[in-house]
């Protein structure tokens, strides 16, 4: 039926371009819709959470975990509310991932606790006997990197307009000293929840281990924590 088209390079090119521009528009247009703006009440990551996000990227967790709950019943039953585009507005880079060797993590903060993560990251099989996830014991000894996290948050504010320090319930960036005090305060809460004596002792010496930041980031992957007022 379309033999004549294949034999006519000029018309073939024209039809090809028309069909592909329609497909292109379908992909691009949603980006201009209101839904791709930050969803109501979306909070930027705190410095501790940014530090944890950096650990997540460094360790390559996205190779096995996605962060995108699709709008299918099987997924919303397992993970919770499906992901909205406006929830990623402050994510740089995006960590959607493309593989699910492990479960999706976009709502993990809604159903796992700091203590659970602590045990799981130290030795996954201690809480999920059949787990094939590697352990992350080295994150319990390495210190988290406050300065780099502060620099990243600062850059996101200055270059990309991520709204730190804005409004009443704002996530504060402040000066380096103020940010460090807030970082330690938030870390103290996670350390308390983790119930791990070595992490507590290190914290008493003024050290915040990578695992503490990573757990703060895991907890922030929660519909309630990131977008509620």
Question: What's the token pair of residue 172?
Answer: 């504060």
Nearer to ligand HEC among residue 69 and residue 105 (C-beta): 105
133 is a site residue for ligand HEC (CB under 6 A): yes
68 is a site residue for ligand HEC (CB under 6 A): no
Q: How far apart are CA 203 and CA 191, in angstroms?
A: 8
Build a one-symbol-per-residue string for 142-181: x at contacts with ligand HEC by CB under 6 A, - elsewhere: ----------------------------------------
Question: What's the token pair of residue 90?
Answer: 């402050």
User: Least distance to ligand HEC from the beta carbon of 41, Å?
Assistant: 24
136 is a site residue for ligand HEC (CB under 6 A): yes
Of 15, 28, 132, 228, the residue at the interface with ligand HEC (CB under 6 A) is 132
Nearer to ligand HEC among residue 59 and residue 115 (C-beta): 59
Range 209-220 burial, b when 16+ CB lie within 10 A, else e: bbbbbbbbbbbb
Range 42-72 burial, b when 16+ CB lie within 10 A, else e: bbbbbbbbbbbbbbbeebebbebbbbbbeee
Task: Provide the 10 A C-beta neighbour count for residue 184.
Answer: 15
Nearer to ligand HEC among residue 105 and residue 212 (C-beta): 105
User: Least distance to ligand HEC from the beta carbon of 119, Å?
Assistant: 11
């Amino acid at each position: 039926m379309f033999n004549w088209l294949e034999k006519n390079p000029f018309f073939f090119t024209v039809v090809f371009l028309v069909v592909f521009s329609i497909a292109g528009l379908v992909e691009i247009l949603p980006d201009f819709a209101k839904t791709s703006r930050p969803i109501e009440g979306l909070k930027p990551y705190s410095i501790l959470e940014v530090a944890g996000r950096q650990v997540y990227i460094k360790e390559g967790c996205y190779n096995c975990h996605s962060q995108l709950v699709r709008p299918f019943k099987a997924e919303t039953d397992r993970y919770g509310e499906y992901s909205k585009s406006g929830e990623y507005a402050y994510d740089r880079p995006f960590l959607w991932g493309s593989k699910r060797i492990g479960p999706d993590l976009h709502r993990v903060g809604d159903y796992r606790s700091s203590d659970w993560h602590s045990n799981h990251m130290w030795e996954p099989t201690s809480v999920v006997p059949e787990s094939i996830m590697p352990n992350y014991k080295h994150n319990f000894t390495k210190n988290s990197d406050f300065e780099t996290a502060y620099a990243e948050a600062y850059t996101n504010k200055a270059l990309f307009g991520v709204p730190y320090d804005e409004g009443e319930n704002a996530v504060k960036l402040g000066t380096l000293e103020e940010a460090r005090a807030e970082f330690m305060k938030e870390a103290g809460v996670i350390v308390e929840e983790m119930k791990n004596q070595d992490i507590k002792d290190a914290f008493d010496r003024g050290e915040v281990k990578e695992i503490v930041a990573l757990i703060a980031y895991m907890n922030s992957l929660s519909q309630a924590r990131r977008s509620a007022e």
